[in-house]
């Protein structure tokens, strides 16, 4: 049976067959209380917020973002209203989001010693993200994404992925995996993702998979994955529907599965129980990086001890709120409602 969990802040659903408003209000209060208790416990134990370590393995890029009134037609040129440069990539954005929320984030990726490496390192330092460089001697250009965002928040992206970047055979840090509360892989730099995921699984650290799209090596990677949070664009071989994707992942041993589709409800499967989580609706300025922020926020809340559904509910609030602001960082300057 498909149940539905409302995600509207103080707004509750009272439709027949769904949980009552009173039950939903109680649930929201319980989740908030647990989260506050966890944070208070961290403060008492350490005198600081940063404690629950999350490891993120995957891609880092340079994102050059232009805001325009409308996208140019073929063979035309438009003037941008603004230009911003960020460190980007699924694992990188997730790590920065987690660190901003007071998690202790470690990013395992390729930065190297090219002309733009200093820009990436400086941003990671600014957000207190620890870097493990998979190829510190790499002197080629990093993956660069050119992103155009129009006044409606729609975006066009041209990007070079990580396939052209040589990465030495990676070996995971077993001790770091034992210390971590959670590890996330995005499937880029696949051998490194496989090595770190296997090491985390071996020491009992939960592994989260950011499934943006199917990549060579994903089948092997899934052997070490406990939780998969995938976009609607993640289509494994032989799958033609969301039900097919759920069954494919479940048959590979993935316990908790979520499939996102923009502002549409998040479909989830946990064990044999299915549900639909409604995403908070906001006035959208920019959806860039919202999925990455969802993954980073999920890892933060899961590292505090929240269960799969509760962590996903809290993460969806953060990701939706980020869409109210331009780029992948401006949301951090504003309180989350």
Q: How many domains does the chain have?
A: 1
Q: Residue 337 has what pLDDT?
A: 65
**pLDDT number for residue 47:** 40
pLDDT value at residue 322: 96
pLDDT tops 90 at residue 324 = yes
- The set of residues, in sequence order, having a beta carbon less than 8 Å from that of 335 and lying 6+ positions away, is none
**Which pLDDT does position 152 carry in this prediction?**
84
pLDDT tens digits, one per residue of 201-248: 999 999 999 999 999 999 999 999 999 999 999 999 999 999 999 999
Distance of CA 26 to the CA centre of its chain: 28
Quote the pLDDT of residue 160. Answer: 80
Average confidence (pLDDT) over 288-296: 96
User: What pTM did the predictor assign?
Assistant: 0.85
Q: Is 101 exposed, middle or buried (0-12, 13-18, 19+ CB in 10 A)?
A: buried
| pLDDT band at 5; cut points 50, 70, 90 | very low
Cβ neighbours of residue 89 closer than 8 Å, sequence gap 6 or more: 58, 59, 60, 61, 109, 143, 186, 188, 292
CATH code for position 87: 3.40.1190.20
**Local confidence band at 151 (pLDDT 50, 70, 90 cut-offs):** confident
Which H/E stretch holds residue 256?
A: strand 256-261
pLDDT at 16: 36
Mean pLDDT over residues 39-58, rounded?
62
Strand pairing partners for 67? 82, 149
| Region 10-35 average pLDDT | 42
Higher pLDDT, 272 or 4: 272
Lowest mean pLDDT among 28-37, 175-184, 233-242: 28-37
Residues with Cβ within 8 Å of residue 209, at least 6 apart in sequence? 184, 185, 186, 187, 197, 221, 222, 225, 227, 228, 229, 230, 254
Give the pLDDT confidence score for residue 51 in this predicted structure: 54
At what angle are helices 90-100 and 117-126 packed, to 10 degrees? Answer: 30
Q: What is the pLDDT of residues 185-205, one digit of tens each?
A: 999 999 999 999 999 999 999
- Other beta carbons within 10 Å of 211: 31
Residue 161 or residue 243, greater confidence:
243
Q: Which domain holds residue 30?
A: 2-333
Q: List helix spans (H) across the chain.
A: 21-46, 90-100, 117-126, 174-179, 190-202, 218-221, 242-251, 290-303, 308-322
Which stretch of 1-10, 162-171, 274-283 has the lowest confidence by average pLDDT?
A: 1-10
Q: 242, 259 in Cβ contact below 8 A?
A: yes
pLDDT of residue 297: 98
What are the tens digits of pLDDT across the range 90-109?
Answer: 999 999 999 999 999 999 99
Burial of 255 (0-12, 13-18, 19+ CB in 10 A): middle
Of 208, 205, 278, 287, the closest CA to residue 249 belongs to 208
What is the average pLDDT score of the chain?
86
For residue 211, give the nearest of 240, 241, 245, 239 by alpha carbon: 245
Mean pLDDT of 121-137: 96
Tell whether the model's pLDDT for residue 22 goes beyond 50.
no
106 phi, psi to nearest 5 deg:
-120, 130
* Interval 124-149 mean pLDDT: 93
Q: What is the pLDDT of residue 4?
A: 37
Backbone angles phi, psi at 277, to 5 degrees: -105, 115
pLDDT of residue 115: 87
Question: 158: alpha, beta or left, given left = phi > 0 and alpha = psi -120 to 50?
Answer: beta
């Amino acid at each position: 049976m498909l149940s539905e969990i409302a995600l509207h802040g103080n707004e509750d659903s009272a439709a027949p067959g769904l949980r009552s408003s009173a039950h939903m209000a109680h649930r929201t209060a319980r989740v908030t209380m647990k989260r506050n208790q966890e944070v208070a416990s961290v403060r008492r134990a350490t005198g600081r917020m940063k404690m629950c370590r999350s490891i993120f393995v995957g891609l880092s890029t340079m994102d050059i973002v232009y805001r325009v009134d409308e996208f140019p037609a073929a063979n035309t040129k438009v003037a941008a209203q603004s230009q911003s440069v960020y460190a980007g990539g699924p694992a990188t954005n997730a790590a920065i989001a987690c660190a901003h929320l007071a998690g202790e984030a470690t990013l395992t990726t390729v930065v190297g010693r090219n002309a733009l490496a200093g820009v990436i390192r400086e941003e990671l330092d600014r957000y207190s993200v620890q870097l493990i460089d998979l190829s510190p001697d790499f002197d080629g250009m990093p993956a660069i994404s050119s992103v155009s965002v129009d006044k409606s928040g729609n975006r066009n992206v041209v990007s070079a992925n990580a396939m052209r970047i040589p990465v030495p055979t990676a070996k995971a840090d077993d001790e770091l995996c034992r210390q971590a509360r959670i590890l996330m892989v995005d499937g880029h730099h696949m051998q490194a993702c496989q090595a770190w995921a296997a090491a985390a699984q071996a020491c009992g650290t939960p592994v989260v998979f950011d499934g943006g799209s199917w990549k060579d090596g994903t089948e092997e990677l899934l052997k070490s994955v406990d939780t998969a949070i995938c976009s609607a664009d993640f289509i494994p071989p032989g799958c033609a529907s969301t039900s097919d994707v759920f069954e494919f992942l479940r048959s590979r041993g993935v316990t908790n599965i979520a499939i996102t589709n923009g502002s549409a409800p998040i479909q989830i499967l946990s064990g044999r129980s299915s549900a639909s989580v409604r995403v908070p609706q906001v006035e959208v300025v920019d959806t860039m990086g919202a999925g990455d922020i969802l993954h980073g926020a999920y890892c933060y809340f899961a590292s505090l001890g929240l269960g799969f559904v509760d962590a996903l509910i809290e993460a969806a609030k953060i990701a939706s709120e980020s869409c109210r602001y331009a780029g992948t960082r401006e949301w951090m300057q504003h309180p989350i409602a």
